[in-house]
């Protein structure tokens, strides 16, 4: 062992150690500086795309894509400083990419779906949507996932492939929406009178649109009531507030007119058998 240690050229070993230490330090410096630069460039690119008037969804997606490509270039440059040949590295990355691609087919599907979501834009940031059984406001479409914020402020993360593979209901895609209300009127009251009362409530609501004009239709003769359908149109941002106000005002107006909104009722007839009647005697 002592002879082996004496045979080592310690001067050369120290030179090699210093050389590798310098390369490693340079590689780390390039990595951290490159990472900072890529982040800055990705953010600047997002702002530039946003200022051009493009959809915020596109700006966010481009930022994520630029970040992914840029960090890959930085890693290759840092490894090259350590002494890993680019050709060998690219070959290894290609082989690894093929293996990873086969193992992560779902992730590649999410990536392709994310590109399609950005290209066709069935929704954008800030839209209220219902997709893949979830409802919320769109916050972001990343390379792999779509992020929603639920009405009670929960974050919902959905793989892009599921978003593209399911029906998408966009509540903000149109400027106007129709409010559909079901109102039941007791059989002891004249439906025409109830219609006149409801028309007065609709006429007093200034946020309703005149075109298309509101409709009140008799839709069904139910078990306990004559069912009316009240249809009116509003601007999409006013939908929930106007809907709530109409329900309250219709209830108050019908009460003031003495028109009952009945609750479900059933009449039950109890029939006793002859033996039961004799037992009762």
Residues 146 and 220 reside in one and the same domain: no
Give residue 21's pLDDT: 73
Residues 152 and 190 reside in one and the same domain: no
Residues 19 and 95 reside in one and the same domain: yes
pTM of whole model > 0.85? no
Is the Cβ–Cβ distance between 228 and 193 less than 8 Å? no
Give residue 89's pLDDT: 58
Give residue 103's pLDDT: 47
| Domain extent for 20 | 11-103
Give residue 279's pLDDT: 53
Task: Provide the domain count of the chain.
Answer: 3
Terminal alpha carbon distance of the chain: 116
Residue whose pair of structure tokens reads 């310098």 in the numeric block: 22
The C-alpha atoms of residue 221 and residue 40 are separated, in whole angstroms, by 66
Residue 81 is part of a domain; what is its CATH number? 1.10.287.1260
Give residue 141's pLDDT: 87
pLDDT block averages, 10 residues each, the chain of length 281:
54 63 78 86 80 71 79 78 64 58 63 85 92 93 90 94 93 94 92 95 95 94 91 95 96 94 72 57 55
Which contacts of 151-155 are long-range, i.e. CB under 8 A and separated by 24 or more positions?
Answer: none
Query: CB-based contacts of 259: which residues, under 8 Å, 6+ apart?
Result: 185, 186, 189, 193, 194, 197
The C-alpha atoms of residue 113 and residue 66 are separated, in whole angstroms, by 18
Q: What is the pLDDT of residues 213-239, one digit of tens each?
A: 999 999 999 888 999 999 999 999 999
């Amino acid at each position: 062992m002592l002879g082996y240690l004496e045979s080592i050229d310690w001067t050369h070993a120290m030179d090699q150690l210093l050389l590798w230490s310098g390369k490693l330090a340079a590689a780390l410096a390039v990595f951290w500086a490159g990472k900072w630069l890529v982040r800055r460039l990705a953010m600047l690119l997002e702002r530039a795309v946003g200022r051009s008037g493009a959809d915020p969804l596109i700006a966010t997606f481009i930022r994520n894509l630029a970040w992914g490509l840029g960090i890959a270039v930085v890693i290759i440059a840092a490894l090259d400083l350590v002494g890993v040949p680019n050709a060998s590295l690219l070959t290894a990355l290609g082989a690894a990419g093929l293996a990873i691609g086969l193992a992560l087919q779902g992730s590649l599907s999410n990536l392709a779906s994310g590109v399609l979501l950005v290209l066709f834009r069935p929704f954008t940031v800030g839209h209220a949507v219902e997709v893949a059984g979830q409802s919320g406001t769109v916050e972001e479409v990343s390379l792999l996932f779509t992020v929603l914020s639920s009405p009670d402020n929960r974050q919902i993360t959905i793989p892009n492939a599921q978003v593209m593979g399911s029906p998408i209901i966009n509540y903000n895609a149109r400027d106007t929406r129709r409010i559909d209300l079901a109102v039941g009127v007791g059989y002891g009251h004249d439906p025409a009178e109830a219609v006149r009362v409801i028309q007065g409530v609709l006429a007093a609501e200034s946020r309703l649109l005149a075109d298309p004009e509101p409709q009140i239709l008799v839709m069904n003769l139910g078990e306990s009531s004559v069912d009316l359908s009240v249809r009116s149109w509003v601007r999409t941002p006013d939908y929930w507030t106007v809907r709530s106000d109409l329900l309250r005002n219709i209830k108050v107006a019908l009460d003031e007119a003495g028109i009952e909104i009945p609750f479900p009722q059933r009449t039950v007839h109890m029939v006793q058998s002859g033996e039961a009647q004799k037992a009762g005697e």
